[in-house]
Structure formats: C-alpha cells, structure tokens
Amino acid sequence: MKQNQITAFSTIFEALFSEQKLNSLGVQTQMIERFRLITPAKLCLAFVCALGSGNARTIADIHRYFNHLHSMSVRLKPFHNQLVKLGTPEFMRQVFEQVLALHLPAVHTFSDAYRGYFKQVLLQDGTSFAVHDGLSLHFPGRFSTHSPAAVELHVTYDLEKAQPVRVSLSEDTASERDYLPEAQSLRGCLLMADAGYFSKAYIESLQNEAANFVLRMPASVNPMATCNQTGLCQPLRSWLVVLPKHGELDLDVQWPDGPVYRCVMFASTDHKDKPVCLCTNLDRHTFPAATVGEWYRLRWQIELLFKEWKSLNSLNKFNTEYSTIAETLIWGSLLAATLKRWLINGAQQKYRRVLSMFSGAKTANQWWLPFCIKWACSGITEIAAELGKVFAFLAEHCQRVNVKRDQKSGAFKVLEITYES
C-alpha cells in the first residue's frame, strides 16, 4: 500500500463513517427521533474508541470517553437513556455489518500447491460468555448454576482476509447448527468446523452443492469405515485400537443407504490429546491425510480471534441488566476489533512486513486512542495523515516474531502473507 493508497484507505473510511451517513442510519433504525447533543455519529465514535482501547468496563467509562472526545459535558442519565432505546443495538449492528461487507484485500494466500483451489476458505465456530444474571430470561445460559445468563456469537471467518464475514448473536442455549452457512452459498468453497456443527444432512447438502468440507466428527458418530487399502470394514471407533500414536488412518465411511465420505483419523491434532476424526470430501491425491490435518489446524486462527475479542476489546466484561445495552456493547466491541484489524492489515500492506494481529490489538492504547481523538477533533475527512502515523507505529512495534518457525510448523506452512502490488 503506497502513499496514494493511504488516501484511498481514508476515503473508504470516510464513506463508512461520515457524520451524515451515520446520523441518517440512526434515524432509519429509530435510534433517535430528533437530533440533540447525543447524535448517532458521536455515540458510534465513543463506543469504538472506548471499547477498542480495552479499558472500558462500565457505561460510565464509555460516558467519560464520549465527553472527552467531543469536549462535551453530557450527564450520565441522558447518556444511559439513549443506550436503553431499542434502536441503539440495531444501529450498532448495522454499522458493524457494513464494515464486514467491505471488499477488503486478502491478508493471506495459500502456498503454490493450493492457490486458487477454493473460492473461499471459511472457518465456522462460536464463542460464548456470561452476561448479567438479570438477563437469564432474554439470554438463558447452558450452565444455569454458575452462568444463568450467557450469549453466544456464531462466526463465519474468511481465512484469507483474516476477518469474519458473518456474525450472529443468540442466547447460549441456541443450537450451533442453526447458524451454519447455507450449503448453496458455499459452492466452490471449503468449510472447516468443529464437532458441534457436524450433521449427516448438512454434509450431504454440501456434497450436493459441490462445496468442500472438513468437519470434525463427534465421538457419538460411529458409521461403518473401510480401509481403502485392505478392504477391511468395521465400525469407525474400532479403528482406534490400530491408530498409530503419531500417524493417521485414511478411511472411507458410509451410513446405511448414504454416500461414501472420506474420514481421516489422527491420534491428536491439538493440546487435548484426544483422537480426532475428520469427515471430508477433499481429494486424496491432492490432499493426503497429513495435509488434511495441517489444514484443519488452521481453525486455530478463529480461536485467536476470539481471544483477541475477549481479552483486548472488553467483550466479556459487560455487567448490565439491560438487554439493549448488552447488545449495543457487544456490537460496538466487535466493530472496534474489526476496524483495528483492518488498520493492522493496512500497515502490513504499506510496509510489507508480517505483523501480528494480536500484538497490534494489544498495543491499541498507544495508537488507537490518538487515532480516534484525531477523528473526533478534525473529522473523518482529515485522517489520512494520522493513518500514516498509525501504520508507521504498527510496522515498527507489532512485527510477528517467529515467522520462520511458523513456516515450518504453524499457520504459514499452508498460508503466506500477500501484498498488493
């Protein structure tokens, strides 16, 4: 990303966050009826600034950010009253979804052997966290004893762009499978997901739509499995006794009257040291068993995203008994986290250095707050110079430490950093 591309970057930012556009959206979502001191644009900026800093724990914290950024002295009660309105979380959700809809450049590409093989590589997972116990009717938790109220975020993550493409919010008791992408939207794509998303009906629909998948099979699933070398056929879990400690088995599995799928079985692919059975329709010649395991381990990228959200964006620190405020805080936190990732990728493109998303988010106090203050004081149309400072800071202080190690055994064994020409 050269200097003229910084201007292009700031132009996109201006189009998304112009005061006129945000205020108009606030009216459309019925967040406000008439303009007073607390406008949608001012409130949005206060939220992304406060939550992106990682230091906001209460509504009072965000209120202080609001007054500081805009040199105002709005009292806490009218500020709080604005947040309890039904239109406020819908406003913040729509702003977040507009950011997700941007056609951003890819952060990663795949190694030469797999480049262009899939239209998209998507990871599906969810993360849950407790909210105020008073919200147990609105957001019932799965573990009613110690977390009577909890929410779950269902996330579809684009591995090449290193960003979510879809996020849904539900009560913690909702079925994860209800939030899977529709099979017809995945033609030519690869979807990878954990055992909570496995369903025979879903993998059959993926197969019918020419979509690729790698889904972990739950321990309760035990179809007949055939070794394609010896022809021996027995229940899938019976193969565990001959599973090599540091190797894998590549089997064919089939349910009665159903199609044949491929199952790759490993002693372990993670720190939990439990056998892993992956159901897939990837070609054996192009994707040998060991390669399937390497690709499935890329799911760790979405776990890192969840860690970043919870640790560095105040996502699981909210303690309010108002559902509207809880939802507004969640969407605002996700918006701030996504914008920070966007800027970190911008710095990576400009300086052609491999940067750590987590390190960039961790140092937000040193660059995010100054950026937001400039945004508030000079307006979104004047941020190009500040973007240059942000990119320089990130390139200098947030470089990835162990790139060579990761190229041998980590994410970069399969992925490569891509730069715009």
Alpha helices in 250-363 (DSSP H): 289-296, 300-312, 323-351, 357-362
Q: Where are the domains of the chain?
A: 3-102+320-409, 108-301
Tens digit of each residue's pLDDT, the chain (421 residues): 455 667 777 888 888 888 999 999 999 999 998 888 999 999 999 999 999 988 888 899 999 999 999 999 999 999 999 999 999 999 999 999 999 988 777 787 887 778 888 999 999 999 999 999 999 999 999 987 788 999 999 999 999 888 999 999 999 999 999 999 999 999 999 999 999 999 999 999 999 999 999 999 999 999 999 998 888 999 999 999 888 887 899 999 999 888 999 999 998 755 566 889 999 999 999 999 999 999 999 999 999 999 999 888 877 767 899 999 999 999 999 999 999 998 998 898 888 888 999 999 999 989 998 999 888 888 767 788 888 899 999 999 999 887 777 666 666 677 777 776 5
- The pLDDT of residue 401: 81
Residue 391's pLDDT is: 93
What integer pLDDT is reported at residue 415 of this predicted model?
A: 77
Angle between helix 19-28 and 3-17 (nearest 10): 30
CATH class of 108-301: alpha beta
Q: What is the pLDDT of residue 410?
A: 61
Structure tokens at 185: 């939207």
Look at residues 421, 405, 377 and name the one whose alpha carbon lies nearest to residue 413.
Answer: 405
Q: What is the pLDDT of residue 421?
A: 55
Secondary structure (DSSP) of 180-247: SPPGGGGTT-EEEE-GGG--HHHHHHHHHTT-EEEEEPPTT---EEEETTT--EEEGGGGGGG--TT-
Bridge partners (DSSP) of residue 249 are: 265
DSSP 145-189: TT-SBEEEEEEEEETTTTEEEEEEEEETTS-GGGGSPPGGGGTT-
Which candidate, 288, 300, 284, 266, places its Cα nearest to that of 194?
300
What pLDDT is attached to residue 271?
Answer: 53
What is the per-residue pLDDT for 102? 83
What whole-number distance in Å separates Cα of residue 62 and Cα of residue 59? Answer: 5
- 106: tokens are 């890819």
- Specify which residues 392 forms β-bridges with: none
pLDDT at 157 (0 to 100): 96
Structure tokens at 379: 């307006």
Q: Which of 322, 386, 307 is nearest to 86 (CA)?
A: 322
| CB 340 within 8 Å of CB 360 | yes
At 15, which amino acid appears?
A
Question: Which tokens in the block code for residue 268?
Answer: 């372990």
Secondary structure (3-state) at 45: helix
